[in-house]
Each structure stands twice: as C-alpha cells, then as structure tokens.
Structure 1
Amino acid sequence: MSTITASRRGVLAGMAALALPAATWPRPAAAQQKPLTVMLESEVVILDPHMTTAAITRTFAYHVFDMLYGSDAAGRVHPQMVDSHEVSADGLQWRFTLRPGLRFHDDAPVTAGDCVASLARWAPRDALGRMLLAAGATMAAQGERVFTITLTKPFPLMLSVLGKPNAPLPVIMPARVAAAAGEGRIKDIIGSGPFRFVVDRWKVGDSMVLARFEGYVPRQEPADFLSGGKVVQVPQVVLRAIGDDTTGANALVTGEIDYMQYLPFDLVPMLARSQGVKVMTLKGLDMFQGNFRLNAASGPFADPAVRAVLWKLVDQKEMLQAAGIEPGVRMDHCAAFFMCDAPLASDAGAGSAKFDPAAGKAALARTGYKGEPVVMLQVAGSISQAAGSLLAQRMREAGFTVDEQVMDWGTVLQRRSRKEGWSVFPVYSNGVDMASPLTHFYVSNNCADYTGWSCSEPMSELLIQFAAAPDDAARARIAAAIQEDAYRTTPTVMWGQFSRPAGYRSRLQGLVQSSFPIFWGVRLADA
C-alpha cells in the first residue's frame, strides 16, 4: 500500500489527531527563477471553490486559497491557518485561534471575521458542511484572531470536516469578497494561499499564471501532502490550455511543459521510454471512478424505473476498453459505490445490476417511457466521451431516443447546473472523493440542491447514522445499507475504476506522487 493510499484510508476513518513536530523549513533560494509550466486535466473555468465540486477548481483553490486544517500523508488532520483550538468538556463549543502573520493577496490581514464569513458561505453548499449546520453550528468572531463554533449537539467530525480534501473546499476568503458575491460566484479571486492568481495575465483558452505569494508565511513543519509548510520553490506556475492530449504529450516530450496531469493511454508506453520523461501510475484510492450521473429532476430519468434500466446496459470492462484504458491501469469490474480496494468496498445491492441488454430492453418496455429524448452531455475528446457513446449505443438498442451533445467541460459544468435541458453526463472523479458516503458526490448530496437532484429519504437517515457511527465496523455496515439504497434508487451508474497516469519531466523534483496535482515544494533542476 502506498503512502498516499494510506492517507486516503486515514481520511475515511475520520481521524483528527493533531501533531505538531518542531521543525524549520527554509524559504526558497532566490536563484530559483524558472517557472513551472503544466497542463492540467482541463482549463480552469470556475474560480470559486465554494461553488463547485469540479476537481480542476479544487486544484486551483489548493494553490490560491488556504484552509484552517489540512490532511497529512497518514490521514491525520493538522492545523494549517489555525494556531490552536480548544473544545469545551461537553463538546459543544470550539474556540479557534488563527496563527499570526496571515495575509490575503491584497495585503489585508486574515481575521476571524473572514473565517466566519467564509465558513458560513461554504457550509450550506457542501454535504459535510450541512451536517455541521445540522448539529446547530453558529459561528462568531471573538476578536481579530479568535472565532468560535457553538453547537447544540456534539460533532466529532469537526476537524475532519474543516480539513477535508474534498470539493467544495472550506477555503478562507475575505469577508468583503464573500459578501459582494451574494448568491453568485465571487468576482475578486483573493486568497491567502502560497500562490496568487495573476488576473491580468489570464488568457482564456490559452494560459493562466499563479505567482508565488511573497507575503505567505509557511508553517514551520515540513510539508506533508496537504498540511505543513507550503514552501514555493518556483516564481510562477503557468497553467497551459492545450487543445488536445496528443499535443500535450508532444509538448511534454520536447520540454515545452514540465507536467501533464493526464497522459493519453495509448501513448503511455512511448512516453515511459522517452528521455527526460517520468510516468506516475497510482493505485487504490488514487484511482478514479467513472460515473453516468443522471438527472432525477426532469426528463426521462425523473422516473426511477427508467433510471434503473441503465444497470442492465453497462458492462464496465467493455466501457473501459472503449475508452482505451489498458488492463494494467483498470479494474475490469467494480460493484462498489465507495471504490474497490478501499475500506468500504462492498457488493451489497449489486445483485440486480447485471449486464443484460435483452433484460434492459424488456425492463424499459415495462416503464412509462414514451420515447422522450435523453440528452447526453459529452465532453469532446475525453475518455468519458467514449464511455458515453457506448452507453448511447446500448440505450438506442434498448429503445431509448438519445441526443448526444458534444461540448467542452466548461460548458458541461454550466449546463449541468440547470435542472432542465439534460438527462445524463459521463464523468470520472478522484477515488478519495468517492470512497465514503460522506464525500461521494452522488450519495453525500442526496436530497440537496446539487446537480442531478437525486433524493432518497431512507438514504438521508442512513447518512446521519453513518456520521454518528462509533467504529469502523458500524460504518461498514451502514455504508453497505447506503449502497443497497443507491442501487435501488440509481442516482448514478458506475462505468469503471481506473488510474490516469501523469507525466513529468525528470528535471522536476519534489513532486508529490498523488492524483492531486501539488506544486508547492517542487523544484526545477537544470535541464
């Protein structure tokens, strides 16, 4: 088991132990002047980390914003912006003190009021945040550096929630920025993280620049995954928007870029042999889960009986093969909603989800479906598109009318935010996001205002029970019951579990081996 995999297991266990080893971590050498040029999974379209679960926004946010707590490689949650905290004997009042010297990118100090405003804005938009609010949480500033969270009932997950690695992230932003946004997205992208967003160098469709924030004061501890001293060793990270993966792979080989988040599967063997290129292949919870997210709010999939037909039309091995995913980086079948090779892996409820196109056609004929168009939002050129096209073919054979609409990911994000005008979109997500009922996008957001709008009252109760479970055994039992309900109500249909190899130049040193792109601590040696 890799170190990073261990970190994910620790997060799932809800560990919140604090460790503060005494250490020092120097600022980067002034001679380090080379910018780091990277190609991420897509262009960053949504810059507001409170407003989306998109992984690309999370990657952006981890560099530009900061959080009160962060997870280390063993899954423990450590203070990040917080200096210390105290908890009352009855567990109902938490008192947090910020560490001194925190500043936003506009040079304003970070205050307790900013933390209260940020958490109040984030919590209603996040599944775990809503659980915190359900525990009666009220937040108040008690001075410039101290704020409190008062509860009506104990909430043992407090530190795990404030330090969660899952989007939407509970990042801290200026209170004035949060207030100016109202119910919309923030306009001023001002964080207090180790990088600052250079707005006047943002060229939509071309590039984005994150510059080292000279006013950032790292923690004294060495960096450890998402916690510790985030020391930036490069003056800038340039995020390149490159038209297609093949062009990106060529740019990696020639040294035009230093890092590519997702390598084309068919080019991985060649890239692994290329001089100066290294390939990062990850397993376990650093793999991804592919899903067909269904719209339960309108259209044909508002009928749960119609949604359930799709279980008969998906063969995961066939889907993965269609997407060009090689055997070495895929699992031919995984029935677990919460990831295979993971603490909560189970086949509970999967008995009726057997690939059987003839049975699917017969099942559709028994529903009230009358041939209404199923609108599938497809991301042009993605591996999800191949999986979606195969599903569309199977659906047509079963009697569905399918309208595939191909667009870029940014447009999908915009379209899927509306309750009407779409029926399904294929997507894939980080395993760390999908490996727990409390963070799985399409389970944790049950009965919430979240894209897809699936709702099961029994699942809502089970999620409450899971959050209050006393031990791992109890959590496993409740997770199995949640999975059974998910197979029954079909908020989503999995199309496979797989790894997405990343590639980077060998001159890039200090890169964390993770499915999360992390660029603090990275150094560029001479070519």
Structure 2
Amino acid sequence: MNALGKKIMAIGASVAVLFSLTACGSSSASSSSKGVDGGTIHIALNATVTSLDPMITGAYVARDTMRSMYESLVTLKQDGSVGPLLAKSYKVSSDFKTFTFTLRSGVKFHNGETMKASDVVASMQRWIKLSQIGSTFFTGSTVTSPDADTVVITSPKPVSTGLYLMADTGRIAAIMPKSVIDKATSTGVTEYVGTGPYEFSSWDKDNKIVLKKFADYSSPTGATNGYTGKRVAHADKLEFDFVTDGTTRLSGTLSGQYQIGYSLADSQYAQAKANSSLKVEKDEMLETLIFNKQEGLFKDNTKLRQAILAALNMSKIAKAGHQNSDLYTNDGGLMPKNSPLRSDSSLDKYNDPDAAAAKKLIKESGYNGQTITFLTTKDYPYMYDESMEIQNELNAVGIKTNIQVLDWASVLQKMFQPGSWDMLISSYSYSANPISYSFFQASGAGWNTDPEFKEIADSINAATTETAQKAGYDKLQDWFYTYVPNIIVSKYQQISAVSTKLNGYSSGMQGPVYYNLQLSE
C-alpha cells in the first residue's frame, strides 16, 4: 500500500484503539472452571429479529446473531483496524479506486458448496446494490474476478475509507452462494447460507432463533482479535431467545436459564454488578433523535429541526433515560473525545437550550400546531423515558407530539415506512468513520438526501493530506449542526449480564462475539 494509504489506515486504527478502550467494554467474562465443548448456550435478546438477510437489516439483535453465520472479505480487529476474514490478503491502489482481494481456499458454505470467486462477485455486487454503505459509496463500481482466487472491486471515484466501509458489521458485506443470491426476492434471501462457525437451524419468529455448529467450518488463522483471527464453535448450539421483558432477562441469567441477558435497563445495573455470579459487559452507543426527512413535517424544513435542537435540554433528557450517571455522557461530537477524527466544530449548538430562540425558529418554520408522530418503545426503557421528557420539553415551546409506543420490531418496520412517523429515538454503534453512519445514508432511517453531505463525504474520501481530512470532518460536523438531519442526545453504555459460568465472551467495537463462547464445567 502507498504511503498515503498507510497513513489513512493508521489514523483509522488509532481511532479504533480509542473505541476499544472507551466504548466497547471488550473484557472477557470467563469462569475459573475449565471450559467444556458441547451443549446449548442461551442468549436472551431484548427484541425479536425481523430478518436474517444481513444486507437488509442493521438491527443489533440481528447483526449480533448473524455474525456467527455470515462472514465478509475483511472485518474489524479489536482496535478497530481492518483485518482479513474470507480474504487471505488484499491491497489498495494508490488512487484509492481499486481494491484487490486474494481469497482463502477450501472455504465451505453451509450448503456444502465450496466458496468460489463467482460467489464473492455476486455477493459484493448485491452488497453494493442493496446495503446502505455499499449503495452510498460504491455505486457505479465493478466487481470482477480475473482468476479463480482473486476478486477486484473498482470504483469510479476515490474511496480512501473503502476497506473500513467493507469491514463494517452493521450491514455486513456477507459472502453467500451465488445460487442463494439468484433466488433472493425483493424482501431478502430465502435461504440463510453463509460460511460462519454456526449455521442456521430454525427460526420461530415469535420466540427464538437456533444456530447449530457447522462441522465443516474453516477458521482463519491467528489469535482471535476482535472479529478477526481464530473462530471456534465450542457449543453444539446457540439459542437466541426473544425476551422483551428486562426483568425476565436478568432473572433468567441469574437462575442459569440464560447465559447472557442482553441489553438490560440502567435500573438493573446495580443489581447485576453486585451479583458474584454475573459480570456486567458494556458497549458504548450513540443515541440520537431521528427526523423523517422524506415525508411529513420535517421534509424540507430545516428551521423546524433547528428549533427542536434549540429547545432540547440534553442533560435532562439523558438523565431521564439513564438513572446512573456512570452510564452516559453528554457529548454532541460525531466521534469520541481525543479521537484523531474528532471535531469540536459547532459543539456550541449542542445542549444549549434556548426557549426564545426555539420559538423564533418555530415561527420561521411555518409550523402552526400540527401534531408530530413520535415513535418509541419500552423494549429499550431509556428510549421511552427520554421520549416522555422530549415531549414535555417540546410542549413547553408549543410543539405538539403524539407518542406511539410499539415493540422494537415494529419500530424497525415502521422506520422505513415514511408515512408512519415524523420522529423517533434510536441508537448506533460507533462507525470507524463518521461518514458511514447509517443515519447519514439516503436509504437509512430518516432518508438523508442532502447533496451537501455527499459533497463532504466525497471530499473526505478524496483527501490527500491529514489537514484536508481534518477540514472535511469539521465541515461534516458544521453541516450536522446546521442541516440537523438528526440530533445526538448522549453517548451511553449499553449493559448486558453475562454468567461467570460462560467462557470466551468478548466484543469488538460493534457488538459482542458469540461464536467463541464455551460453557464451563
């Protein structure tokens, strides 16, 4: 790789180091007892999974489940830098337009077929067409195979962040058999076939997903490092149970019914932390208020979005949602503090409530008392509590809201139905690069199609110096606080309870690893 490429990769790696130290909670909850192979590991999820097509859904419960089934060419190390997975090696051209991957040989799909370059070509073509990141940054790219062991992606424009975009696990660039892709419908693939250490077994759509150990799995070499390196399916099965009640998830983990209780309420933090049979694992998330910019009151109404930013007291909202101050930080930056990609530009507009300014902007926006449809859920208690506080604060400046409380699966469905909502709260793992956040993509929640974002993202991808990159990130954050596509509420630590009778728990910058888990004696 050329000098500039190495420099950019180094910047991304250093950012990710910060993520792993401050955001991921990537410690291991392991027992002092010896691990044993076999058995079923039960993971209690807080919401149902609505799709097992990794290019269609970005929901965390689905992402973390599918990580054991599907694999990509490259993925993220513990420090957030890029490493190989199904690719044996890769290189990037000096103009950041050509990405060449040498494939690992002998990799089997769950249906018994051997992975071929034609499967990779079909998969990456589908990812570019369907995924938010692929369609935003790689549209117009070609995917070819000059020989049986090589796949080349050629972009019409520079994509200096390209490897990170392909390594992102939010909507994984999963490699699947071409035969499965050819049979896919508009709603997704109809067969769930990947190359991961676990394969699909069953899906009771209201209750659970069961994955079983893939006997012919071919693991990458090297020590496990984030999502790279050795992967071992110790358990016979992974069972993901849909348990929307947080008390049941915690009590079930305490009783041994579940080995992991995912995404507990902040109110359960002290109880879980005090119990010697559990370890509390944390994943830092960015929580944000999203506006529907495709249809309704917020479409083409920057003034109204600015008014809501001016009206809200983020300190009060975050406190309402997170009972323990150890579990959130009021910070409006797109990246964490001390990150090389961090910008402090325009942060004077964050958490600066001004009722008079809000009312002035409301008048200028043309808003005349219409009711805003505000979706929320109790599956994530903080979302409901914060929504109620937001409603109170908006009511104080004359903005009416109708809060609709739905289960999280329904929120995810309505999120992509523009006529169903105006505003909602959601949360996101950190991105390796801020331009790849889902809420900035045209097909992401809120439908950001502002051409200025595209211009800024293109300038960052085409940057040839660190100074130019820094200017790009400052401009991005200035745009964020002027256009207000969405509003950062706070950064918070999502907590999960993990039994000390479970070995091998780890996580990366985008959620937990389940395939290396092992029951103890």
CA distance in 1, matches of 2:314, 2:116: 49
Partner of 1:140: 144
Partner of 2:434: 437
8 Å CA contact 2:278–2:498 kept in 1: the answer is yes
Partner of 2:173: 170
8 Å CA contact 2:123–2:176 kept in 1: the answer is yes
Partner of 2:489: 495
Q: Which moved more, 1:207-216 or 1:506-515?
A: 506-515
8 Å CA contact 1:113–1:141 kept in 2: the answer is yes
What is the DSSP-based 3-state SS (H/G/I as helix, E as strand, rest coil) of the residue aligned with 2:425? Answer: strand
8 Å CA contact 1:289–1:339 kept in 2: the answer is no
Partner of 1:318: 316
CA distance in 2, matches of 1:496, 1:154: 33
CA distance in 2, matches of 1:497, 1:256: 31
Partner of 1:375: 373
8 Å CA contact 2:322–2:328 kept in 1: the answer is no
Partner of 1:9: 15
Displacement of 1:490 after TM fit? 0.9
Change (3 A) 1:131 1:247: closer
Asked if 1:159 corresponds to 2:163, the answer is yes
8 Å CA contact 1:357–1:394 kept in 2: the answer is no
8 Å CA contact 1:35–1:236 kept in 2: the answer is yes
Q: Where does structure 1 lack aligned partners over 5 or more consecutive residues?
A: 1-5, 14-28
8 Å CA contact 2:220–2:231 kept in 1: the answer is yes
Displacement of 1:43 after TM fit? 2.0
8 Å CA contact 2:133–2:438 kept in 1: the answer is no
Displacement of 1:89 after TM fit? 7.6
Displacement of 1:11 after TM fit? 8.0
Displacement of 1:280 after TM fit? 2.2
CA deviations on 1:253-300 (whole Å, 9 max, x unpaired) are: 11111112222212221222223111124xxxx411111100111111
What is the DSSP-based 3-state SS (H/G/I as helix, E as strand, rest coil) of the residue aligned with 1:279? Answer: strand
Asked if 1:124 corresponds to 2:120, the answer is no
The percentage of counterpart residues that share the same residue type is 22
Q: Which moved more, 1:113-122 or 1:169-178?
A: 169-178
Displacement of 1:213 after TM fit? 0.9
Partner of 1:21: none
What is the DSSP-based 3-state SS (H/G/I as helix, E as strand, rest coil) of the residue aligned with 2:67? Answer: helix
Equivalent residue letter for 2:331:
C
What is the DSSP-based 3-state SS (H/G/I as helix, E as strand, rest coil) of the residue aligned with 2:243? Answer: coil
Matches within 5 A, 1:339-358: 339-353=336-350, 354-358=352-356
Partner of 1:150: 154
Partner of 2:513: 518
Asked if 1:461 corresponds to 2:465, the answer is no
What is the DSSP-based 3-state SS (H/G/I as helix, E as strand, rest coil) of the residue aligned with 1:257? Answer: coil
Partner of 2:31: none
8 Å CA contact 1:313–1:391 kept in 2: the answer is no
Equivalent residue letter for 1:442:
F
CA deviations on 1:4-39 (whole Å, 9 max, x unpaired) are: xx96724899xxxxxxxxxxxxxxx99612211112
CA distance in 1, matches of 2:321, 2:118: 48
Displacement of 1:51 after TM fit? 1.2
Matches within 5 A, 1:41-52: 41-52=46-57
CA distance in 2, matches of 1:12, 1:295: 32
Larger relative contact order, structure 1 or 2 (CA cutoff 8 Å, min sep 6): 2
Change (3 A) 1:225 1:236: same
Change (3 A) 1:299 1:198: same
Q: Which moved more, 1:456-465 or 1:468-477?
A: 468-477
What is the DSSP-based 3-state SS (H/G/I as helix, E as strand, rest coil) of the residue aligned with 2:403? Answer: strand
What is the DSSP-based 3-state SS (H/G/I as helix, E as strand, rest coil) of the residue aligned with 1:119? Answer: helix
8 Å CA contact 1:36–1:524 kept in 2: the answer is yes
8 Å CA contact 1:290–1:494 kept in 2: the answer is yes
Displacement of 1:161 after TM fit? 3.0
Change (3 A) 1:12 1:191: farther
CA distance in 2, matches of 1:219, 1:162: 18
CA distance in 1, matches of 2:476, 2:439: 12
What is the DSSP-based 3-state SS (H/G/I as helix, E as strand, rest coil) of the residue aligned with 2:183? Answer: helix
What is the DSSP-based 3-state SS (H/G/I as helix, E as strand, rest coil) of the residue aligned with 2:39? Answer: coil
What is the DSSP-based 3-state SS (H/G/I as helix, E as strand, rest coil) of the residue aligned with 2:102? Answer: strand
Matches within 5 A, 1:74-473: 74-85=79-90, 93-126=98-131, 128-130=133-135, 132-133=137-138, 137-152=141-156, 155-165=159-169, 167-199=170-202, 202-281=203-282, 286-302=283-299, 303-331=301-329, 333-353=330-350, 354-382=352-380, 383-430=382-429, 432-433=430-431, 436-443=433-440, 445=441, 448-473=442-467
CA distance in 2, matches of 1:416, 1:276: 38
Q: Which moved more, 1:155-164 or 1:229-238?
A: 155-164
Displacement of 1:158 after TM fit? 3.9
Q: Which moved more, 1:357-366 or 1:250-259?
A: 357-366
Cα root mean square deviation, aligned: 2.5
What is the DSSP-based 3-state SS (H/G/I as helix, E as strand, rest coil) of the residue aligned with 2:387? Answer: helix
Q: TM-score, normalised by structure 2?
A: 0.88
8 Å CA contact 1:95–1:148 kept in 2: the answer is yes
Q: Which moved more, 1:492-501 or 1:509-518?
A: 509-518
Change (3 A) 1:297 1:476: same
Task: Give 1 or 2: higher strand fraction.
Answer: 2
Displacement of 1:44 after TM fit? 1.5
What is the DSSP-based 3-state SS (H/G/I as helix, E as strand, rest coil) of the residue aligned with 1:292? Answer: strand
What is the DSSP-based 3-state SS (H/G/I as helix, E as strand, rest coil) of the residue aligned with 1:215? Answer: coil
Change (3 A) 1:469 1:86: closer
What is the DSSP-based 3-state SS (H/G/I as helix, E as strand, rest coil) of the residue aligned with 1:64? Answer: coil
Q: TM-score, normalised by structure 1?
A: 0.87
Q: Which moved more, 1:116-125 or 1:358-367?
A: 358-367
Matches within 5 A, 1:60-79: 60-79=65-84
Displacement of 1:473 after TM fit? 4.1
CA distance in 2, matches of 1:426, 1:38: 25
Displacement of 1:94 after TM fit? 4.4
Change (3 A) 1:393 1:65: same
CA deviations on 1:218-237 (whole Å, 9 max, x unpaired) are: 12212111111211111111
Q: Which moved more, 1:270-279 or 1:29-38?
A: 29-38
What is the DSSP-based 3-state SS (H/G/I as helix, E as strand, rest coil) of the residue aligned with 1:312? Answer: helix
Q: Where does structure 2 lack aligned partners over 5 or more consecutive residues?
A: 1-11, 20-33
- Residues paired across the two proteins, number: 492
8 Å CA contact 1:249–1:264 kept in 2: the answer is no
CA distance in 2, matches of 1:276, 1:462: 49
Change (3 A) 1:516 1:436: same
CA distance in 2, matches of 1:407, 1:214: 40
Displacement of 1:378 after TM fit? 1.0
Displacement of 1:154 after TM fit? 5.1
What is the DSSP-based 3-state SS (H/G/I as helix, E as strand, rest coil) of the residue aligned with 1:67? Answer: coil
CA distance in 2, matches of 1:227, 1:287: 21
Partner of 1:36: 41
8 Å CA contact 1:512–1:518 kept in 2: the answer is yes
CA distance in 2, matches of 1:236, 1:56: 17
